[in-house]
A = this chain, B = another copy of it.
């Protein structure tokens, strides 16, 4: 039996990703984690603190939980960018295009987040961008020297997040694929321009 605190976090992570933060009640978490209210409030001051811990877990796990699985067997730095995007596509189609990026969903759901929440959302985005920026940096002179690697990584993130948003709304991976195909074309043209 895993640690109680971990069970709470695991349950909350799934529920926040599938139902959102506001639509997930503490009772939902308790039921899903098979835990009593007293235990949850023993470990966390309140519901928002559970969210903070979930966001910290995402941030800490971006390597082992997201990047490493996406990049096993993929060495080419530019292929890695699109392997990462393909990972999000896999999550989409595996859930009938209803599950996307949990960070993005929370970022738009919580309109006026308390500073600690917003900071953690931003930190997650920053870590994603830094990882992809690293790919583009590693691509070296395959990309024109004057191309801003970090801005290109931000562009990859907006493509993914916007693609997930449209795919979920249309319940179809087609808009996600359209956007990623355009990004792939852009990167190919950058490579051809060297």
Interface size, chain A (Cβ < 8 Å) = 49
Query: Could you say which residues of chain B place their CB within 8 Å of the CB of A31?
Result: none
Number of copies: 2
A104-B98 in contact (CB<8A): no
In the assembled complex, the Cα of A19 lies from the Cα of B112 at a distance in Å of 7
Query: Could you say which residues of chain B place their CB within 8 Å of the CB of A41?
Result: none
B178-A155 in contact (CB<8A): yes
In the assembled complex, the Cα of A20 lies from the Cα of B107 at a distance in Å of 12
> Which of A18, A150, A161 has the largest number of chain B CB atoms within 10 A?
A161
In the assembled complex, the Cα of A100 lies from the Cα of B169 at a distance in Å of 17
Which A residues have a C-beta under 8 Å from some C-beta of B?
18-20, 22-23, 98, 100, 104-105, 107-112, 118, 121-122, 125, 148, 150-152, 154-155, 157-163, 165-166, 168-171, 175, 178-179, 181-183, 185-186, 189-190, 193
